[in-house]
Structure 1
Amino acid sequence: MSIIRSERTAAGLLLGAAALGLLLANTTVGPALLELQHTHVGGGAVDLSVGHWISDGLLAVFFFIVAVELKHELVAGELNSFAKAIHPAIAAACGVLVPALLYLAIAGGSGLPDGWPIPTATDIAFALGVLAIFGRGLPNRLRVFLLALAVLDDLVAILIIAVFFTTDPNLVELAAAAVAVVAFGLLSRLLRGRLRWPIGILMVLLAALTWWLVYDSGVHATIAGVALGLVMARRPAGRVTHALEPWSNGFILPLFAFSAALVVIPAVSPSELSPAFWGILVALPVGKLVGITLGGWLGSFTRPRQERGRIPLFALVTIASLGGIGFTVSLLMNELAFAGSATIRAEGTIAVLLGSAVSIVLSGVLVTVLARRNRRLHPRPAGAQIRTESPDSASETHHS
């Protein structure tokens, strides 16, 4: 199981699953896979296609893990004080604003403005995976800054999904979901002793009820996972996410990447591709690079004068290039933004994959150069152990 928890493995599985999905969709088995993806499973109040069971159902587990990580950082981690949070918060804000504005500048006048959230996301798992693969010997403060930045980025993504991709919500069902969430949080504080199993079963039932109420209310169902992760008591939440992490890394995220990338490449010339395609393709790697670098530079002035050079400009540009790996959350945003047009959605998916690929290559080169420079300037004693993952990576989840 330890290898599946690795950030390197998580990144490799995501990339492999997306590449396989895109490849198979454009072979003779593609039509059969697309038909399976659109096959409905369930009945009554919960009748979803296989694709929606993956994006609305399984992905709620991933967002539960993200919410637990977010709560950990806010309570006891790198975001637990204003002084710690302000620098990555400014970088994250600019890393959302600049790609959104760049997308709107390219595609806003074409009747496709709804795609602006797509290039604003950062895939924590993938970004940390690239850092772990190529960043041998880098100081841990760079990883900590990237983690804080990406966690705040995820918080913005969650808010965007909740606010901009919700239409006509059923307030009664949302109120019932809120009651179920509160009950779930209270029960999580009683998970001990002989009552652990009955309470645990009751919590699973409450989680399923919350998911259904949120889904049926018109709000995207992944928000249920976020709410449950935020209210669960820290210690049991840590144990649950530790148990869920291999399933998220090894099954849920690769399956989502495979399903989201299951699109037929349009048989058109580049000039016939929609402005949305070009908006995403440019805004994801370029917008994130410019936005995070600008925000990181501005945010450095909030630190004491003696700490302003703690993250040099080249290191900041390197972190910003990692922020352009949108992948999982960008693919979800694409599905939501262009739900009414299969053609634009397919082009958006390809743009997300290409834009993320550009960022992967660029960040891989920059991280390698930065790591080599750091090892040359700060050689370690022979036999010293070099850490590329966090000290608690074996017991805490670090995702996107």
Structure 2
Amino acid sequence: MSLLRSDRFPAVILLVAAALGLVVANSPAGPAVDSAMHVYLGIPGVFELSVEHWIKDGLLAIFFFVVAVELQFELTSGELNSAGKATQPAIAAAGGILVPIAIFLLFAAGTDSASGWPVPTATDIAFALGVLAVFGRGLPSALRIFLLALAILDDIVGIVFIAVLFTSDVNLVMLAIAAALVVLFGILSRQLDGPARVPLTIALVLIAVLAWAFTYASGVHATIAGVALGLAMAQYPALRARHVLEPWVNGLVLPLFAFSAALVVIPAVSPSQLQPAFWGVAAALPIGKLIGISLFGWVALRLGREKGAVPALPFSDLLAAGALGGIGFTVSLLLSELAFAGDALLRDEAILGVLTGSMVALVLASVLVSWRARHYRRLERAGGSPAEEVAP
């Protein structure tokens, strides 16, 4: 289990799962696997979902619960618990959202692909931290903290996009019941230290499942239930739940989602015939994130200096962070599914764009992170300090 809690191994599993999905989809077994993904499971006439939707709307809600628990901790006790700590990653995150959107729209504005503008705004924290762990030996901890804060802020924006942009025909009664269940979940989670811990834990699991089901029935994307439950839960039991769930999320939930999302048949066309949905995402992730995060992060660094604050990272480290931010993957894949839910061709090309752009960003990040890591190791051998690296 400790292996599944590490930074490196889950990123490898995720990459293998996505590659396997792409290979299977383009093999003779592809049609059979695609048919299996559309088999409906559940209680007939009461609650049924296809296998694909159980993964995308059901299992992925657990991932978002874990993300929300981490978000709650960082906002209250961690690296985002004050305006001073959050300023540089917040400004950099804004650049890492706005610049990719602008680049995507350069390709897609005025076309049917334009609705996919949210797709290249996400950063996959598991992949980014995995690359950092593999190639970043010797880097200061400030870079990991900055990247974690940046990715969490990205997740907030992604959650807002899912909740606001991809919700329609909301059943307010169902949503109100789901909200009441979330409140009850939060209240009961604060009683877990008492003598009735076991029955309360069982009750919390049942309430969480019901909150998810009513959220799904309301028309709001069901992963939002995971977010709400993670934010509502008392912090200490929430962190314990995250510790228990993390290996399952890393070893099962995310690989299954990556495999199912990557079940895309590669179009038998020339590159010039690919839609703007592909080119926009494939360019916006590696290029937009690199430019947006490093440029806006540098602006934040300069502003911090003018106010007398100690800047968190030099510009060279911001370049490495920007490249890592371009590894969109999990949330970008989900946004591709949602943005082009009514057009299978555009959805598949956007997914291919996510895979392509994320791989380019992964390679670029590996080079930049290795470069910075070697520099810091040389600095350490020479008896220097990372603080000396802050750009003038």
Aligned ranges for residues 136-215 of structure 1 at < 5 Å?
Answer: 136-215=137-216
Structure 1 SS opposite 2:110 = helix
* Deviation by residue 1:231-282 (Cα, 9 ceiling, x = unmatched): 1001000111100000000010011000100111111111111111111111
Question: Do the aligned residues in 1 keep the contact of 2:305 with 2:311 (CA within 8 Å)?
Answer: no
Question: Do the aligned residues in 1 keep the contact of 2:64 with 2:226 (CA within 8 Å)?
Answer: yes
Question: Do the aligned residues in 2 keep the contact of 1:142 with 1:311 (CA within 8 Å)?
Answer: yes
Per the alignment, residue 40 of structure 1 pairs with 40
Q: 2:221 & 2:245 partners in 1: Cα distance?
A: 21
> Structure 1 residues 7-16 or 108-117, which shifts more?
108-117
Q: 1:254 & 1:206 partners in 2: Cα distance?
A: 26
Q: 2:311 & 2:92 partners in 1: Cα distance?
A: 15
Q: 1:295 & 1:173 partners in 2: Cα distance?
A: 41
Q: 1:332 & 1:104 partners in 2: Cα distance?
A: 19
1:16 aligns with 2:11: no
**Aligned CA distance change for structure 1 residues 282 and 3 (closer, same or farther; 3 Å):** same
* Deviation by residue 1:21-52 (Cα, 9 ceiling, x = unmatched): 10111111111111111111123342211111
Q: Partner amino acid for 2:209? A: A
Per the alignment, residue 63 of structure 2 pairs with 62
Question: Do the aligned residues in 1 keep the contact of 2:66 with 2:242 (CA within 8 Å)?
Answer: yes
Per the alignment, residue 388 of structure 1 pairs with none
Structure 2 SS opposite 1:191 = coil
Q: 1:44 & 1:294 partners in 2: Cα distance?
A: 54
**Aligned CA distance change for structure 1 residues 283 and 197 (closer, same or farther; 3 Å):** same
Question: Do the aligned residues in 2 keep the contact of 1:86 with 1:302 (CA within 8 Å)?
Answer: no
Q: 2:354 & 2:47 partners in 1: Cα distance?
A: 30
> Structure 1 residues 60-69 or 24-33, which shifts more?
24-33
Q: 1:325 & 1:111 partners in 2: Cα distance?
A: 25
* Deviation by residue 1:104-143 (Cα, 9 ceiling, x = unmatched): 1210211222100000000001101100000001100010
Q: 2:107 & 2:62 partners in 1: Cα distance?
A: 34
Q: 2:311 & 2:232 partners in 1: Cα distance?
A: 37
Q: 1:89 & 1:3 partners in 2: Cα distance?
A: 31
Q: 2:305 & 2:283 partners in 1: Cα distance?
A: 35
Displacement of 1:308: 5.1
Q: 2:312 & 2:185 partners in 1: Cα distance?
A: 42
Question: Do the aligned residues in 1 keep the contact of 2:113 with 2:346 (CA within 8 Å)?
Answer: no
Question: Do the aligned residues in 1 keep the contact of 2:304 with 2:311 (CA within 8 Å)?
Answer: no
Identity rate of aligned residues, in percent?
60
Displacement of 1:380: 8.9
Per the alignment, residue 353 of structure 2 pairs with 351
* Deviation by residue 1:171-224 (Cα, 9 ceiling, x = unmatched): 111111111000000000000233011111111111011101110111100000
1:228 aligns with 2:222: no
Aligned ranges for residues 65-104 of structure 1 at < 5 Å?
Answer: 65-104=66-105
Q: Partner amino acid for 2:356? A: L
Q: Partner amino acid for 2:3? A: I
TM-score, normalising length from structure 2?
0.95
Question: Do the aligned residues in 2 keep the contact of 1:87 with 1:302 (CA within 8 Å)?
Answer: no
Q: Partner amino acid for 1:142? A: L
Per the alignment, residue 296 of structure 2 pairs with 295
Structure 2 SS opposite 1:194 = coil
Q: 1:44 & 1:225 partners in 2: Cα distance?
A: 25
Unmatched 5+ stretches in structure 1: 382-400
Q: 2:153 & 2:381 partners in 1: Cα distance?
A: 33
- Superposed CA RMSD in Å reads 1.3
Question: Do the aligned residues in 1 keep the contact of 2:115 with 2:340 (CA within 8 Å)?
Answer: yes
Per the alignment, residue 125 of structure 1 pairs with 126
Displacement of 1:304: 4.3
**Aligned CA distance change for structure 1 residues 274 and 157 (closer, same or farther; 3 Å):** same
**Aligned CA distance change for structure 1 residues 341 and 200 (closer, same or farther; 3 Å):** same
* Deviation by residue 1:355-383 (Cα, 9 ceiling, x = unmatched): 000000000010001100110011299xx
Displacement of 1:301: 3.1
TM-score, normalising length from structure 1?
0.93
Unmatched 5+ stretches in structure 2: 384-392
Displacement of 1:307: 4.8
| Equivalent of residue 380 in structure 2, options 378, 381, 390 | 378
| Equivalent of residue 363 in structure 1, options 356, 362, 365 | 365
Per the alignment, residue 387 of structure 1 pairs with none
Q: 2:216 & 2:108 partners in 1: Cα distance?
A: 30
Structure 1 SS opposite 2:295 = helix
Q: 1:45 & 1:345 partners in 2: Cα distance?
A: 29
Displacement of 1:329: 0.3
Question: Do the aligned residues in 2 keep the contact of 1:18 with 1:261 (CA within 8 Å)?
Answer: yes
Q: 1:105 & 1:125 partners in 2: Cα distance?
A: 29
Displacement of 1:297: 1.0
Structure 2 SS opposite 1:79 = coil
Displacement of 1:65: 0.3
Displacement of 1:342: 1.2
Per the alignment, residue 389 of structure 1 pairs with none
Structure 1 SS opposite 2:211 = helix
The alignment covers a number of residue pairs equal to 381
Q: 2:177 & 2:301 partners in 1: Cα distance?
A: 44
Per the alignment, residue 387 of structure 2 pairs with none
Question: Do the aligned residues in 1 keep the contact of 2:265 with 2:348 (CA within 8 Å)?
Answer: yes
Question: Do the aligned residues in 2 keep the contact of 1:130 with 1:364 (CA within 8 Å)?
Answer: yes
Displacement of 1:302: 3.8
Structure 2 SS opposite 1:378 = helix
Q: Partner amino acid for 1:18? A: A
